[in-house]
Amino acid sequence: MKIALYGTGKCAYTTIVKLYGQGLSPAHIYDSDKNKQGTQIFGFEVQSPETLRNNPNGILIIIAVIKQQFINEITDNLLKLGFTNGKDFMTSNEFFGESIEGYLDTWGRNSGLPVSFTDEWGNVFTRTRGVNNARILISKKSKIVLRVCKNSYKVIMEDVVLKLQSSGLLGKEIVGTYFDNRKFVDNPIELKDSLLLKHDFQSPLIFGYEFSQFMFFNSAKFIINLTKKLDRLGLGIVDVSYANIIFSHGEFMLLDFGGITNYKTPFNVFEQFLSGYVIPLLLMNYGQSDKAYMYLRVSQPKVTFNDIKGYMSETQVKQFTTMCEHCKQFINIGDVSSFCDTLLEYISNISILPKELSPNGAQLNLIDNFNKKENWEEKARIIYDWTTNLKIKTCCDLTANLGFYALMLAEKLDYVVAGDFINDFIDDLFIRIKKFKIKNVYPVYMNFIAPTLPKHRALSIDGNNIKAWIEGGGADSDAT
């Protein structure tokens, strides 16, 4: 059954975002206002409700308005068109109330489902809870990750995988994903009726808030370019959170496959780009890196333009406002390519560049003579010889400096995590990893930013939502 919305205001926008979060998408949007009919709203053409007479296509209508007066008027109109209340149409609150209730009953703590599942080969999987009609089953011992797709999400994910199979993106820019037909010994109906996808097991996981500034800058460009590539394939993305981007095998990768969908990238993604990438990058650019990383560590961060406006000149404010207006315009009409180009151009002009290190910098002589062991200092040769006899597969190099020892050990181990609290060192290591195509060194910026530390308490983020000033007229509005 198709879903359609009746209404084009803020409630309709919120309803669309909620639908996307459950792997759903409206097929049509209707409104009684003749001035709105034929226009584009959120990438959809607004149609007259008269085209719904007698509900010939089996469409479920969600009344996406807030005021009871308008709900009553729309209800009367739909009844006259031949619809049945509660069966053919309902309010947004009623729809999501029923949807969420059934959803939690199926997979929640009190669902009665087993905590673990065993497949036909004896692999034991534990289940986790997600945020849409999918669940993840993980077998850490066997290093297998399965995505269980149900209901409408099953159809969406099947289409997404088929379109991506010949794109060259899977296993490179997007986590490797494949159809899986394994059987389970204890197979409840929730698994029997579901689509199973197998994801490549990723270890270790280095996330956005652990990137150095130059790494974070490049991850922002990566996700914008990936959004554009997906659009060319007829796909979209509904979650571009920096928490879904990892650094793996020397490259950035989208880890959350569930964030991809088979419809256009929606409007709410613009907010995610602003709050998750643009704002932190601007803070870094204005010398407020501690505040930027504090912001990245906050779950579901909220910000207003006032958090950065004080650091900007009038020209910079105007440039930012212009970028926001162009992005809103493009995303509203479904022009994802122009939306990405506008964002990419703006981000590329933010000056996040690695610093040139002093010739006297620690490990600089060592790193420049990396391939000439005869020029190494005695300490380096001793460590190299000592690790030859160690029976280890992985290593963590704390205070890694420029990563000399991490690069040295990488020749012998499965992988090495190299962490340092000096941003410039991790920037330099990241550049070397990219230049020499090193696959098994994972650079980590160990930023010691925490709201409980006295010196960071003043860095708290304004509690207002970024959406307030996006919808309220852009960067010139002071959201309160």
Per residue in 292-312, pLDDT tens? Answer: 887 787 654 555 667 788 888
Q: What percent of the chain has pLDDT over 70?
A: 79
**The two three-digit tokens of residue 145, written as one number:** 């990750």
Q: How confident is the model at residue 264 (pLDDT cuts 50, 70, 90)?
A: confident
Which of 49-53, 373-377, 469-473 has the highest average model confidence (pLDDT)?
A: 49-53
pLDDT at residue 287 above 80? yes
Q: How confident is the model at residue 220 (pLDDT cuts 50, 70, 90)?
A: very high
At 93 the pLDDT is 76
Poorest-pLDDT segment among 108-112, 211-215, 310-314: 108-112
pLDDT at residue 103 above 50? no
For residues 478 and 480, give the distance between their C-alpha atoms in angstroms, rounded to a whole number.
6
pLDDT at residue 416 above 70? yes
Reduced 3-state DSSP string for 238-306: CCCCHHHEEEECCEEEECCHHHEECCCCCCHHHHHHHHHHHHHHHHHHCCCHHHHHHHHCCCCCCCCCH
Q: 270 or 367: which carries more pLDDT confidence?
A: 270
Q: How confident is the model at residue 8 (pLDDT cuts 50, 70, 90)?
A: confident
> CB burial class (10 A; 0-12, 13-18, 19+) of residue 121?
exposed
For residues 372 and 368, give the distance between their C-alpha atoms in angstroms, rounded to a whole number.
9
At 453 the pLDDT is 57
At 101 the pLDDT is 28
Q: 92 or 41: which carries more pLDDT confidence?
A: 92
- Give the tens place of pLDDT for each residue, 236-249: 998 888 778 999 99
Q: How confident is the model at residue 282 (pLDDT cuts 50, 70, 90)?
A: very high
Identify the sign of the CA torsion 209, 215, 221, 226: negative
For residues 362 and 251, give the distance between their C-alpha atoms in angstroms, rounded to a whole number.
26
Q: 25 or 222: which carries more pLDDT confidence?
A: 222
- Give the tens place of pLDDT for each residue, 186-195: 666 556 677 8
Mean pLDDT of all residues in 345-351: 92
**The two three-digit tokens of residue 85, written as one number:** 């209340």
Q: How confident is the model at residue 361 (pLDDT cuts 50, 70, 90)?
A: low
At 86 the pLDDT is 77
In order of 106, 207, 246, the CA distances from 165 in angstroms are 31, 25, 21
pLDDT at residue 92 above 50? yes
At 97 the pLDDT is 52
Which of 85-99, 148-162, 277-291 has the highest average model confidence (pLDDT)?
A: 277-291
**The two three-digit tokens of residue 99, written as one number:** 């949807």
- Under a CB-based contact definition with an 8 Å cutoff, are residues 333 and 42 in contact? no
For residues 433 and 70, give the distance between their C-alpha atoms in angstroms, rounded to a whole number.
59
At 480 the pLDDT is 24
Kindly report the average pLDDT of the chain as a whole number. 80
pLDDT at residue 366 above 80? no
For residues 270 and 206, give the distance between their C-alpha atoms in angstroms, rounded to a whole number.
24
Identify the sign of the CA torsion 320, 321, 326, 329: positive
Mean pLDDT of all residues in 359-388: 73
At 262 the pLDDT is 86
Mean pLDDT of all residues in 87-114: 53
Q: How confident is the model at residue 479 (pLDDT cuts 50, 70, 90)?
A: very low
Q: How confident is the model at residue 117 (pLDDT cuts 50, 70, 90)?
A: confident
Poorest-pLDDT segment among 157-166, 206-215, 349-358, 471-480: 471-480
Nearest to 59 by CA among 20, 5, 110: 5
- Under a CB-based contact definition with an 8 Å cutoff, are residues 286 and 311 in contact? yes
Q: How many CA atoms lie within 13 A of 438 on its CB side?
A: 27
At 408 the pLDDT is 85
At 468 the pLDDT is 39
Poorest-pLDDT segment among 175-184, 255-264, 294-303: 294-303
Residue located via tokens 């729809």: 95
At 233 the pLDDT is 95
DSSP code per residue over 29-81 = EE-S-TTTTTSEETTEEEE-GGGGTT-TT-PEEEE---SHHHHHHHHHHHHHT
At 75 the pLDDT is 92
pLDDT at residue 130 above 50? no
Neighbouring residues of 422: CB distance < 8 A, sequence distance ≥ 6: 401
Residue located via tokens 């280890």: 392
At 109 the pLDDT is 38
At 341 the pLDDT is 96
